[in-house]
Structure 1
């Protein structure tokens, strides 16, 4: 079973709602304060130990929406 089957009409609303939720979650974190970024990075380090040695790099000025 490849998982790339046909999308059925009843799946469309569920996929749209799920996609909107994921997009909204990411957009909330985009302009968060440093404390929030450190918290998210800390959770990522716990999940993926290879991130331990990496520091959180600040976003370039062009990527900030302020």
Structure 2
């Protein structure tokens, strides 16, 4: 049986914390920024913990 390969693209997008949580960039700060308020774009900076639904899928892609 061949080894499982981790999804390299997902590995570049998310980070696994020491406690096993998956964190990544918040969505919605890539384009159409002129229409969004400064307050909203500031709130979208930084990393957030992924939802429980996404976490299961992401861990599978990372081979964890």
TM (norm. structure 1) is 0.24
- When you count helix as a share of all residues, which structure comes out higher? 1
- Structure number with greater CO (CA < 8 Å, separation at least 6) is 2
> Normalised by the size of structure 2, how large is the TM-score?
0.24
Q: Which has the higher strand share?
A: 2
